[in-house]
Amino acid sequence: MYKESTLPNGLRIITHEIQQRDSISLGFWVGVGGRYEEDRIKGAAHFLEHIVFKGSKKYSCEQIKEKIEGVGGALNAFTSEEQTCFYAKIPAKHLTQTFDVLADMILYPKITPSDTTKEKTVIIEEIKMYHDLPQYYVLELLDELMWPGHPLGRGLAGTHQSVGNMTVKDLKKFHRDNYVPGNIVVAASGRLSHQAVLNLTKKKFKGFEGDHRGSFIPAEHLQAKPRMRFFKKDIEQMHVALGMPGLDEKHKDKYALSLLTTILGGNMSSRLFVEVREKKGLAYSIGCSAKSLHDTGAVLIRAGVDNKKIIQAMQLILKELAKIKKNGVGQREFERARDYLLGQLLLGLEDTMEHMLWIGDSLISRDKVKTLKHVVKEFKKIKKEDMKRVAKDILDPKQFNLALVGPITNQQEKELQSLFDN
């Protein structure tokens, strides 16, 4: 059972008590991410995620790590397009100390000139690292194709230029504008009481006001023909990513799309894995997934393919997409995919960290948390006929975007263009 509270200043708390666990997972969610940034400060949300670990009003950089890792806990953070999350998993008896450390980090980060200068170098090296890893860089190229000229089409970490020009003043303003109670969710799961977390939150956030929620540029999909981008790199494998517009987080077919992507490439018994890897040996890795954002979404097929077999692999992938649009799916295949998804969700929610991420993300993103029982009910409503209908809506060749990193030849480029133009 989930318990929610909202403080007078707008900050929301959500907890899930699992008394059979020895751990507590705690997360502070801020409703801001990469798509809320202007070009000039692109990467600010990610930069701020880094800088808060450098020290706060009460704790030094070393103390932040020692207070949590020193009791056997784990501490981390991430930035996405729409959220930033700071989280820890700790033995249950250390909740009070861990809460104070995380809260102090996000409320009172020091953001000094020396730390900002040092962290610029670290983040620029991180950007270089992702550009050196073709399996990551291909996704950056795909985002640029899918959302050209839009914040969603630009890397979360920013560019060498935007990070290099970031100032202490920029970071402090970004923090002041976005890290306000009305834009924060505290989520916790494990051996805890809701009242204990509520009391800690009231005490730490007393006197803080503000409910500003940043605005973002709505996403538009005006694509009339397939788009491609190739990045030539002398490596041993072609890394390909095929993307198309998906569904936003409140769309009625969101769960049906999850089932469709599972059937296509969600596990080792999926169509793409069986046909492309098992039967033809054209790829080592291949998968399909969907992501949902506030006002848009994406479906992604990614694969690592033999350099000489890229055309065969893409032909087969496109053939499988056309087949599921035309013929739909069988009843057994449909039920197997549904049971797999629900089973994975059930197993994941046994872990306090996964459960914290589930409830925190739901509340900060959609202002509502659905129970496992509700989600199961939603999946049970889906019929196998819905797969064909959703496939026809989503798998539109005119909306395909193909990014590729690898030693592609001019001839292969021409053949891929021809394949997608037909």
**Structure confidence by residue, pLDDT tens digits, 49-71:** 999 999 999 999 999 999 999 99
Question: What pLDDT is recorded for position 422?
Answer: 72
Per cent of the chain over pLDDT 90 is 94
Question: What pLDDT is recorded for position 386?
Answer: 97
pLDDT at position 261 over 90:
yes
Longest dimension (CA), the chain: 66
Question: What pLDDT is recorded for position 1?
Answer: 83
pLDDT at position 159 over 90:
yes
Mean pLDDT, the chain, whole residue set: 95
pTM of the model: 0.94
Question: What pLDDT is recorded for position 215?
Answer: 86
> Residue 162 and residue 39: Cα distance in Å, rounded?
8
Question: What pLDDT is recorded for position 262?
Answer: 98
Catalytic residue among 49, 81, 140, 144: 49
Helices (H), 223-330: 254-265, 271-272, 310-327
Residue predicted with more confidence, 210 or 249: 249
What pLDDT digit, counting tens, does each position of 167-193 carry? 999 999 999 999 999 999 999 999 999
Cα–Cα distances (Å) from 249 to 33, 58, 261, 308, 366, in that order, read 16, 38, 15, 39, 8
pLDDT at position 212 over 80:
no
> Residue 402 and residue 406: Cα distance in Å, rounded?
13
Q: Could you give all domains of the chain from N- to C-terminal order, each with its CATH number?
A: 2-204 (3.30.830.10), 227-421 (3.30.830.10)
Tokens of 25: 């997972």
Question: What pLDDT is recorded for position 15?
Answer: 98
The mean pLDDT value for 257-262 works out to 98
The mean pLDDT value for 92-109 works out to 97
The mean pLDDT value for 86-115 works out to 97
Question: What pLDDT is recorded for position 243?
Answer: 98
Other CB atoms within 10 A of residue 122 CB:
11
In what side-by-side order are the strands of the sheet with 23-30? 2-6, 12-17, 184-190, 23-30, 84-91, 74-79
- Catalytic, 49? Answer yes
The mean pLDDT value for 353-379 works out to 94
pLDDT at position 266 over 90:
yes
Whose tokens are 């899918």? That residue is 146
Helices (H), 133-275: 134-146, 160-164, 168-178, 194-204, 254-265, 271-272
What pLDDT digit, counting tens, does each position of 109-147 carry? 999 999 999 999 999 999 999 999 999 999 999 999 999
Q: Is the dihedral of CA 248, 370, 290, 13 positive or negative?
A: positive
